Structure 1
Amino acid sequence: MARLLFFIFLSAVITTEAQQGESVVNLGSFLTPTTNSSWLSRSGLYAFGFYQQANGYAIGVFLAGIPEKTVVWTANRDKAPALASVTLNFTSDGRLIMQSAQAEETAIASPPERAASASMLDSGNFVLYNSDKKIIWQSFESPTNTLLQGQRLTAGKELFSSVSESDQSIGIFRLKMQTDGNLVQYPVQTTDTAEYSYWSSFTDGKGSNVSLCLDDDGHLYLLNSTGTILKNLTQGGYPTKDVVYFMRIDADGIFRLYSHNLDKNGNFSVISRSTDDKCAPKGLCGLNGFCIMNDQDANCLCLPGFASVNPGNWTSGCVRNFTAESCNSKDESTKYIMQAVPSTVWEDNSFSSLTLLTKEDCEAACLKDCNCEAATYRDRVCQKQRLPLRFGRRELSDVNIAFIKVAGSTSTINKIEPLGRERYSRKDIMILGISLGAFGLIMSVISAIAIYKNRVRAYRRLSNSGNVDLSMDVSLRSFTYSDLEKMTNGFKEELGRGSFGTVYKGTIWNGQKIVAVKRLEKLLTEGEREFQMEMKVIGRTHHKNLVRLLGYCHDGENRLLVYEYMSNGSLADILFKPEEKLCWDERIEIARNIAKGILYLHEECESQIIHCDIKPQNILMDEYRCPKISDFGLAKLLKPDQTNTFTGIRGTKGYVAPEWHRNQPVTVKADVYSFGIVLLELICCRKSVDWSFPEEEAILEEWAYSCFEARELDKLVSGKDVDKRQLERIFKVGLWCILDEPSLRPSMKKVLLMLEGTVDVPIPPSPTSFLSTV
């Protein structure tokens, strides 16, 4: 009790001393834009007062001396800039108002009672006190676009981006700390639903009264009401001496954590950002515009037949450069033509949906419909749209095509120009192209010579020193059979058996690093084909969710592959053993990582790869239980212009897609099917076919759909940590993946977005048949 009283007394003394040392603003004080323009904090770090905006002045909080880069709070953001003749008055009756020369008043703060004093704190918080020295209003509780050290964005609160760095008016993006515990970024004027989200912390349902917090060391994190950290957005631990940190949602819709070194004036560094994809923020290019990435920069283009409203402001969007006639019964095809914009995605606000065989059919259907101004086509579904289109971006890996109706007589409408860029003449373009081509050729030759010499030198060093570690950085290491015999102690310790061979445990670097050595044991022709395939596929892939190939042996008839060692075995080892338990969050994270690995094979490799044998036994787990896809012996490479292939049945019974059995062309959707089966197994912690269960429960996908239809998903899973909302979403994703018709299955990119909660998951249709999977 005595300690508690002493602590209360000490806190009171410290608070009193701090207030006495503050830069106190008394009643009757005033500021003007040109003289005595701000009230400084005690150290002079922050200032509250006037700063210049456009041709006038605004009132806010900023780092003293450099307001043009560090405005962290603004009063009445959407008010027009004030004239130089205005005055900021802290009146004798306790009101903080801006007063014009004509005596018009604008409130800067609206506390519940009249203030007795004010202060600009060294934390960047401007506060109003009552006569009892209690804070009755503070800028920290009404944030604009910035979060400062010690400040919290509490549940239900939002940050809104500015129009630009020089215009602090409310822009088009927002960051919301939702009451469900999820921190999400949306465009403004949209509902708080997944379809409009473009970034999320994925912490929904994990706590109540969650706040976004920023500590003095740059630690940005989500904290719940019990004091538990739900998620670290940065690790913190950055220098605190003479450094200021602040997080801001910028005009481009990305929130960034900045540091400013006070010893180096003007030195601002970005420590972290919500996304590296500058086209991710929805609506960046305004209505009828879409975003493309040009190297690392975002660029905006207008739809065919449209021109920029304001070339200096992307978000203003695009308008038609021709006059559209009103809709009537006349044949539209005589007045208009359709222009295609491939590989673009848009918000779906269609008024009609048709199932059509070809994109040409979709194009013709819109052209004949006077109500149709645009159409999108994907997977035989044609969506008729009215303008404007919004949230557009180019996705080179996406098969969606947009068709835009434009005036048939306009000859220039099919030229899609970047916003704000001038058109160049053909001569200029030709000269520029030849110059760049010549320069590129010279640089390529020089680079090739340099790379060749470096690799030759490296190889010689490796040959002389026998250092395996360096060789792996140069290229795949070539081992002799005797090398691998020694590394595996005569192939003594077996790790597992696959369809083409056995995997053994070995060591390199004088026993310092454990590896997995796979020896092919089938007939030479079959083994040779699998060996060449694994070399070709894995040797060119680099992803954290794919097993890394370190080396190989091509010695006489011996064919062996050396992989990184996965200390936790396969997903099957963990999933199907009762003594091994994965919590709900681990299972969800494993599912997302497997999806990322498959997505890489399908859309991000130089050649598109169909794995053909996705199953828990081929998903290995590293020491951190991060899944990595392995066993590419059955993989099929597709040429750049190829989307499907005919081949004999491959894969493992129970995971093989139905099209394998029907002699139909096989696409990447075969892997989507297999992933769907694995996803159901992962969520339910059981095999897809298990006859130890009652007959109606033996085939997992049949039972899963029955439980989903009866709204009895609890029968499928166990554990108190299961998130009920996530459970339903994940099962819907799994059921979409295992649909009989390949074209109805989502792409792996869509699967990942649905798993992450970025897009909504519609109710899946009833499967037509399960017989072919058993």
Structure 2
Amino acid sequence: MTFVLQWIRYRRGKSVPQKADLLSTVAKERISYDELLRATNALSESNLIGSGSFGSVFKGVLRSGTAIAVKVFNLQLDAAFKSFDTECEVLCSLCHTNLVKVITSCSNLEFKALVLEYMPNGNLGKYLYSHNCFLNVRQRLSIMIDVTCALEYLHHGCSSVVVHCDLKPSNVLLDEDMVAHLSDFGISKLLGDDESDLYTETFATLGYIAPVSTKCDVYSYGIMLLEMFTRRKPNEFEGDHSLKQWVSYSFPQAVMDVVDANLLNSTGNRLQKELDAAASIMKVALDCCAESPARKTNMKDVVAMLQKIKIQLIAC
């Protein structure tokens, strides 16, 4: 059977592996520390494409020509060891279109790194706040649906529930087709059957203990959805004010006052349709951020609601 398939591929002139084949081939091979150094030009500053709490990410190119992202953990931080172990445990057992694919890992006493699929369009945060790029209503909605699908899989499609715990635009990566992939599972949690008994130390306020459940991700997703369509960062607000409150005060009568001004370039009937869509999206976001646990939605509901809004937008 293998011979026949190879023969057919040869006859069709497809002997050169495509991107998916290259990644599959790389995944079957172990990549050495020396190979990673060669691929990233010795982890040079010119190859640095991002940095986070536990390490830095470098772009690399393997001998095969495959572009990769190498996430190198800062082992001077004790938390980095746990972050590496968590990402390995979580990501290596998951498979979804909207999750960043882990190709392999490289680990010794002095070096720990994950080799990831490279995302040429970078992270959503840089794209959303760039002065050189523009995301229209449909693009923003499609990206957030991608993120919702990833969360739906983590919350409802795995044998053990996975809570990401760190949803934000910088942890959403965009491929060459602007498809979103959720990344950075360094502080995520695998939940068993009894979620209520699981607690974790929050990284936002060290020393405090907070319960972890899928509701944490739903709330964070709601905030990110508001940020996506207002283009306002949650940390811009001071005192008792918050992004959620700012939107709530203007919703639904004055949505135009809070929606990203870059989205108001349309005219006439089209502008009204897009404003209606923005209002519907913000209602979904506010439902995700509801204070009462009983009122909070789940990611299955969010997927359905956003898909419906997307169909209405396409029709207009």
- TM-score bracket, normalised by the shorter chain, equals 0.7 to 0.9
Question: Matches of 1:624 and 1:471 in 2, distance apart?
Answer: 17
8 A contact 1:502–1:519 mirrored in 2: yes
Cα distance change on mapping 1:597 and 1:556 into 2, 3 Å: same
**Paired letter, 2:50:** G
8 A contact 1:689–1:698 mirrored in 2: no
8 A contact 1:575–1:686 mirrored in 2: no
**2:243 paired residue among 690, 695, 700:** 700
8 A contact 1:696–1:703 mirrored in 2: no
CA-atom RMSD in angstroms: 2.6
Residue in 2 that maps onto 1:563: 116
| Displacement after TM superposition at 1:606 (Å) | 2.4
Residue in 2 that maps onto 1:674: 220
Question: Matches of 1:662 and 1:521 in 2, distance apart?
Answer: 24
Question: Matches of 2:210 and 2:58 in 1, distance apart?
Answer: 37
What pairs with 1:520-539 in structure 2 (closer than 5 Å)? 520-523=73-76, 525-539=78-92
| Displacement after TM superposition at 1:750 (Å) | 1.0
Residue in 1 that maps onto 2:15: none
Cα distance change on mapping 1:669 and 1:603 into 2, 3 Å: same
| Displacement after TM superposition at 1:696 (Å) | 9.8
Q: Which secondary structure state, in structure 2, belongs to the residue aligned with residue 504 of structure 1?
A: strand
8 A contact 2:121–2:176 mirrored in 1: yes
**Paired letter, 2:248:** Y
Residue in 2 that maps onto 1:495: 49
8 A contact 2:165–2:217 mirrored in 1: yes
**Paired letter, 2:219:** Y
Higher relative contact order (CA 8 A, sep 6+): 2
Residue in 2 that maps onto 1:368: none
8 A contact 2:23–2:103 mirrored in 1: no
Residue in 1 that maps onto 2:5: none
What pairs with 1:252-291 in structure 2 (closer than 5 Å)? none
* 1:234-257 residue CA offsets vs partner (Å, 9 max, x unmatched): xxxxxxxxxxxxxxxxxxxxxxxx
**1:508 paired residue among 58, 62, 65:** 62
Residue in 1 that maps onto 2:235: 689
Residue in 2 that maps onto 1:103: none
| Displacement after TM superposition at 1:475 (Å) | 5.2
8 A contact 1:704–1:716 mirrored in 2: yes
| Displacement after TM superposition at 1:576 (Å) | 1.5
Q: Which secondary structure state, in structure 2, belongs to the residue aligned with residue 478 of structure 1?
A: coil
| Displacement after TM superposition at 1:754 (Å) | 1.7
* 1:105-134 residue CA offsets vs partner (Å, 9 max, x unmatched): xxxxxxxxxxxxxxxxxxxxxxxxxxxxxx
Of Structure 1 and Structure 2, which has the larger fraction of its residues in helix?
2
What pairs with 1:318-397 in structure 2 (closer than 5 Å)? none
Residue in 1 that maps onto 2:105: 552
8 A contact 2:119–2:174 mirrored in 1: yes
8 A contact 2:174–2:181 mirrored in 1: yes
- Find out whether 1:636 has 2:189 as its counterpart: yes
**Paired letter, 1:712:** A
Q: Which secondary structure state, in structure 1, belongs to the residue aligned with residue 72 of structure 2?
A: strand
| Displacement after TM superposition at 1:590 (Å) | 1.0
8 A contact 1:549–1:561 mirrored in 2: yes
**1:745 paired residue among 288, 296, 299:** 296
* 1:179-205 residue CA offsets vs partner (Å, 9 max, x unmatched): xxxxxxxxxxxxxxxxxxxxxxxxxxx
TM-score by length of 2: 0.81
**Paired letter, 1:714:** M
**Paired letter, 2:288:** C
Cα distance change on mapping 1:649 and 1:477 into 2, 3 Å: farther
What pairs with 1:293-332 in structure 2 (closer than 5 Å)? none
* 1:24-52 residue CA offsets vs partner (Å, 9 max, x unmatched): xxxxxxxxxxxxxxxxxxxxxxxxxxxxx
| Displacement after TM superposition at 1:482 (Å) | 1.3
Question: Matches of 2:283 and 2:173 in 1, distance apart?
Answer: 25
Question: Matches of 1:720 and 1:701 in 2, distance apart?
Answer: 25
Residue in 1 that maps onto 2:257: 715
Q: Which secondary structure state, in structure 2, belongs to the residue aligned with residue 757 of structure 1?
A: helix
Residue in 1 that maps onto 2:35: 483
- Find out whether 1:606 has 2:162 as its counterpart: no
8 A contact 2:48–2:57 mirrored in 1: yes
Structure 1 regions of 5+ residues with no counterpart? 1-468, 654-659, 759-774
Identical-pair percentage = 34
Q: Which secondary structure state, in structure 2, belongs to the residue aligned with residue 744 of structure 1?
A: coil
Residue in 1 that maps onto 2:211: 665
| Displacement after TM superposition at 1:700 (Å) | 1.8
**Paired letter, 1:488:** T
- Find out whether 1:518 has 2:71 as its counterpart: yes
8 A contact 1:476–1:552 mirrored in 2: no
| Displacement after TM superposition at 1:577 (Å) | 2.1
| Displacement after TM superposition at 1:505 (Å) | 0.9
What pairs with 1:211-290 in structure 2 (closer than 5 Å)? none
Question: Matches of 2:110 and 2:28 in 1, distance apart?
Answer: 19
Q: Which secondary structure state, in structure 2, belongs to the residue aligned with residue 625 of structure 1?
A: coil
Question: Matches of 2:77 and 2:137 in 1, distance apart?
Answer: 44
| Displacement after TM superposition at 1:745 (Å) | 1.2
Cα distance change on mapping 1:743 and 1:475 into 2, 3 Å: farther
Cα distance change on mapping 1:475 and 1:577 into 2, 3 Å: closer
Question: Matches of 1:662 and 1:528 in 2, distance apart?
Answer: 21
What pairs with 1:417-432 in structure 2 (closer than 5 Å)? none
Structure 2 regions of 5+ residues with no counterpart? 1-20, 310-316
Q: Which secondary structure state, in structure 2, belongs to the residue aligned with residue 647 of structure 1?
A: strand
Q: Which secondary structure state, in structure 2, belongs to the residue aligned with residue 689 of structure 1?
A: helix
**Paired letter, 1:487:** A
What pairs with 1:187-202 in structure 2 (closer than 5 Å)? none
Question: Matches of 2:31 and 2:99 in 1, distance apart?
Answer: 22
Cα distance change on mapping 1:516 and 1:626 into 2, 3 Å: same
Aligned length: 278
| Displacement after TM superposition at 1:530 (Å) | 1.1
TM-score by length of 1: 0.34
| Displacement after TM superposition at 1:727 (Å) | 1.6
Question: Matches of 1:554 and 1:690 in 2, distance apart?
Answer: 39
Question: Matches of 1:696 and 1:502 in 2, distance apart?
Answer: 32
8 A contact 1:524–1:557 mirrored in 2: no
Question: Matches of 1:477 and 1:743 in 2, distance apart?
Answer: 48
Cα distance change on mapping 1:681 and 1:476 into 2, 3 Å: farther
